[in-house]
Amino acid sequence: MLKLSKKADYALVALSHLQAHRGPASAKEIAQVYNLSAQMLANVLKTLAHSGMLLSKRGVTGGYALGRNPRQIFLGEVIDLIDGRQSLSDCSSLDKSCQSESNCPAKSPILMIHKKIKTYFDNLTLAELADKETLRGINIEVPLTQSPQTRP
């Protein structure tokens, strides 16, 4: 199934932490709170800072802080920045071709699912990620009438 890289996980954890704590924090501080690799997190934070999502300040009172309003940081943007544009499968990749593509019964449905997931992440903000009530209210259409456990 869909899986984000460890670096993308770290980016989302760090951004969520910085939003919740409303102040600068070092890579070391964030890594200690969540038991993350400080070196990997530092590299992720540098990438986020280079993009403008984070501000970086050196020195004793330095650290990283959000560079934009949490309502202007979209999860799809974060994931694309860290992992590059990903596809759910080769079937949903627009830059890969398949010998069976012209008559493949799976390509269209998989591409549709990929687009729904991508649209969801592209429109979900960091602020919404922190709001549990907002997340509970989100309905992603599921085409199945039965759960996988109850199907014959």
Burial class (CB in 10 A: 0-12, 13-18, 19+), 53: buried
pLDDT of residue 1: 41
Which domains does the chain carry?
Answer: 6-137 (1.10.10.10)
Closest CA to 60 of 14, 15, 26: 26
> Quick one: pLDDT at residue 151?
46
Among candidates 64, 69, 66, which has minimal Cα distance to 43? 64
Helix axes 75-83, 6-21, angle to 10 degrees: 140
The confidence score (pLDDT) of residue 135 equals 62
pLDDT per residue as tens digits for the range 72-86: 999 999 999 998 877
**Which parts of the chain sit beneath pLDDT 70?**
1-2, 87-103, 105-107, 132-152
Whether residue 63 contacts residue 48, with contact meaning beta carbons closer than 8 Å, is answered with no
Q: What is the pTM of this model?
A: 0.77
CA dist 111 and 107 (Å) reads: 6
